[in-house]
Structure 1
């Protein structure tokens, strides 16, 4: 049904990215309402150390997979001190700051390859583990926190006055350190709501994508079913279109892939001496909405519908006696069963088109989602 469905998602991935709608306070608000006094320093508990260790363990998985497939994987593991990495990943509340610092320096060195996101992810997890370990065990952690807050307060005040991107350069790293050391979560949220802004906006004309997706459906297929215990044979001709629509949304990119068609079936059903010839007209439709935002690509389940009308085109009687009587009885029976037969046909057609539409779009949506994460978001996050 949808041989070109994959084209849709390739084009979507390469052409559209809608990054978060701005909400909350504005940076200029801090001009009249400065940060004030620093929230009290909170020493991270044991659970915070366990979480940092678990996050480090999770970050090692993509890198482990990469090194397992690389010819230089053994050398990389030796350079990175892989056994020490695994030990810290399993250390839980017993994280060793000195070991973490040594490991971090190796990941932060000027070596080719360390810019790959698999390495960057581990480096960031190490930095976070160092921050929470220092905050939990170092006597000077509270003093470090106070200095960071004072620096952050100055940068925010300056940014509120100047209102330029350049004035925000130092804010992000300081907020990251506060998050990693589990400090001032409310303040971090407030500042981020003021400084977070979309970093990419693109506009794509609907006709560009439609030209790659829209197509005509025209096919003939056999009918071979059993309805109310009677075999039904014949042929069905389906004609219609697959097309793409853009739907209005202020929060994300929304497209709808639709299928509209008519199936005309000519069938014969035989039971005993009676053969019934009929014509069925079924209106078919299926829709699937596809969403893209700054986090992911996903889709709603397929919605399908079918509406069937049948018409008796003839009754054949294979009997030497009583043909007229048998025909009258058969004609009356067909009229009585007509609503039930149409209802059965509608349900089957609806489920069939829903299942086919879902099956033929699922792989393309899954691939688009994977590509969006691995080829677009991860490289951006690793920078």
Structure 2
């Protein structure tokens, strides 16, 4: 009689690719009282450090050697010879093992351990192997052990950092800056890796435990996949109280979906509201009855949706039916009179039976259709992402599903065991949108610091890392080929000399190697480095290479991010005056990064491919219609183009 689109379930599961925060207001959770309390805890913990808990160099070195041997054995026994040889050549495990065996200086051991650790952190398929993850963990412990090898000196250094952080925390305001959060995170990470002040570490993690990634799926997107009109006819073949009924019935109505408030799952109320009409002929012996009927039917069912799948409550069905006997046909008047009298006597009972049959039939069909939706297996949305997270030494984000009466949300916190989330809830969105992504500054810091902190990368390396994930790299000219570089400056004037054509390399800073700030309706992005080199020229100095973007609305209504001015290259902190050569290198840095930070972002619409499994979304075009940056949160809302 009618059909509910089972594909709406896939739409709901597709929203798992995005992560959302459930909150209606921006509210700081970093009050003056909180700051004073944590600062006092820091100062107290600084006086009670336990150097015996520092990782020991000897034990850590032995663990690394054991993990190296296990990795070599794995590649020798569990992979084909060519593949195993290629991996061992890439990993180059012998130098570190030989340094440890020869009892080389701790500095040399640490330097080689750091180099090997960088080879184990990336996007290359295979780095998620358990043997390599174990080796990476042991390397990180060895690096920390070397760092803290002089227990007395290390204890004083750690205590000094804690006391300095306590003083800094007291001076912070209700909305800490990205630098503030990163500084806190660095100290908390140090305490965690050195086995100190576990209660204090947990206090900070609890304080900075707000979700830091978000997406909202508006109810209209769900309704566009489910809501539809129903206009169906079917033949009637039935028997009620000995009367055989033949005819046709039609159902006209609408199927609708409404979101309901829920935390822990998404709740969707799917309902059918329709009008029924029929024209039938009843046969009872030699008598024929011409009947017509009108009625209503209302069916609803509550669906519960989560990563585990879709379940449904029992359907609730209501129906009414009013049947009229339009004519009784028989050649004898007496028979017609008797039939009319008997029909009148049986009509109440017959109507009750007919209503129940209507309820049962429509309800069963509705359950069948909605059951087809619950049979859809939820996709493992982190299936492709999970290996990449392991390769990058990152933890799987925690997630919480839910819904309000206006939107679907999935609340997620992306951080490792030694990292922090957000201390500020997401800002409310007052503009209309079909879907809105929200990203906190801590996400970028948490994702990029383990990969890039202290690392040396050459021009094009970063694109290669991303290309290995299978994600497209979009540039001003389109999508870059794997191995190509958006950093290449194809428009360099020949008068700049051949040296400007040489590839460059940059040493990333240990603290916030990637800058991402969303404050006061501006977005600031960039990199922090400690060295930049190109050809024979080298600049060894702390530097920030940044671009600032502001939102602007185009004539067609779309929202863009426009870069304000040129790429900025600054050298924070005290430093020597740049030489002529270094000043020239600064101009080269600006030129090279001009393509990294294009003049316009978010200038392209997004079209859902016609091959999408979401039939209701195929061919739809979306574009950014909302961009806001406040309190460390970047919000991008998209809407459908009619």
TM superposition score normalised by structure 2: 0.37
Structure 2 residue 221 is matched with structure 1 residue 219 = no
Choose from 249, 266, 284 the match for 2:298.
284
3-state secondary structure, aligned to 2:20: coil
Return the alpha-carbon distance in structure 1 between the equivalents of residues 261 and 81 of structure 2. Answer: 48
**Contact 1:273/1:319 (<8 A) preserved:** no
Cα distance per residue 1:49-88 (max 9 Å; x no partner): xxxxxxxxxxxxxxxxxxx9xx9898269948xxxxxxxx
Return the alpha-carbon distance in structure 2 between the equivalents of residues 228 and 176 of structure 1. Answer: 79
Distance 1:167 1:344, change over 3 A: same
Comparing 342-351 with 18-27, greater Cα deviation is found at 18-27
Return the alpha-carbon distance in structure 1 between the equivalents of residues 186 and 131 of structure 2. Answer: 14
Distance 1:110 1:125, change over 3 A: closer
Distance 1:205 1:158, change over 3 A: same
**1:374 maps to which residue?**
383
**Contact 1:241/1:260 (<8 A) preserved:** yes
Choose from 126, 132, 136 the match for 2:134.
126
Return the alpha-carbon distance in structure 2 between the equivalents of residues 227 and 147 of structure 1. Answer: 93
Relative contact order, higher structure (CA 8 A, sep 6+): 1
**Contact 1:280/1:308 (<8 A) preserved:** no
**1:312 maps to which residue?**
323
**Contact 1:282/1:308 (<8 A) preserved:** yes
1:194 CA displacement: 1.2
Cα distance per residue 1:173-192 (max 9 Å; x no partner): 77678889998765444322
**1:95 maps to which residue?**
none
1:13 CA displacement: 5.0
**Contact 1:31/1:160 (<8 A) preserved:** yes
Comparing 276-285 with 180-189, greater Cα deviation is found at 180-189
Specify every segment of 5 or more residues in structure 2 that has no aligned partner in the other structure, as ranges: 54-77, 89-112, 143-147, 396-446, 448-642
Return the alpha-carbon distance in structure 2 between the equivalents of residues 149 and 238 of structure 1. Answer: 75
Return the alpha-carbon distance in structure 1 between the equivalents of residues 288 and 258 of structure 2. Answer: 45
Structure 2 residue 30 is matched with structure 1 residue 26 = yes
Distance 1:197 1:123, change over 3 A: farther
**2:367 maps to which residue?**
354
**Contact 2:242/2:284 (<8 A) preserved:** no
Higher helix share: 1
Q: Write the mapping of 1:168-183 to structure 2, written as runs, cut at 5 A.
A: 168-169=181-182, 171-172=184-185
Choose from 249, 252, 262 the match for 1:239.
252
Structure 2 residue 83 is matched with structure 1 residue 75 = yes
TM superposition score normalised by structure 1: 0.56
Cα distance per residue 1:10-64 (max 9 Å; x no partner): 77456x6313669996375453123255599899xxxxxxxxxxxxxxxxxxxxx
Return the alpha-carbon distance in structure 2 between the equivalents of residues 106 and 325 of structure 1. Answer: 102
Return the alpha-carbon distance in structure 2 between the equivalents of residues 226 and 105 of structure 1. Answer: 83
Q: Write the mapping of 1:186-225 to structure 2, written as runs, cut at 5 A.
A: 187-202=200-215, 210-211=223-224, 214-224=227-237
Return the alpha-carbon distance in structure 2 between the equivalents of residues 125 and 312 of structure 1. Answer: 73
Return the alpha-carbon distance in structure 2 between the equivalents of residues 40 and 347 of structure 1. Answer: 72
Return the alpha-carbon distance in structure 1 between the equivalents of residues 167 and 244 of structure 2. Answer: 80
1:195 CA displacement: 1.5
**1:5 maps to which residue?**
8
1:205 CA displacement: 5.8
Cα distance per residue 1:329-348 (max 9 Å; x no partner): 34312323433442343244
Return the alpha-carbon distance in structure 2 between the equivalents of residues 218 and 257 of structure 1. Answer: 21
Return the alpha-carbon distance in structure 1 between the equivalents of residues 287 and 190 of structure 2. Answer: 83
Higher strand share: 2
Distance 1:259 1:153, change over 3 A: farther
Cα distance per residue 1:247-270 (max 9 Å; x no partner): 678x68967464433142525565
**2:123 maps to which residue?**
115
Structure 2 residue 346 is matched with structure 1 residue 333 = yes
**Contact 1:262/1:283 (<8 A) preserved:** yes
1:291 CA displacement: 6.3
Return the alpha-carbon distance in structure 2 between the equivalents of residues 156 and 234 of structure 1. Answer: 84
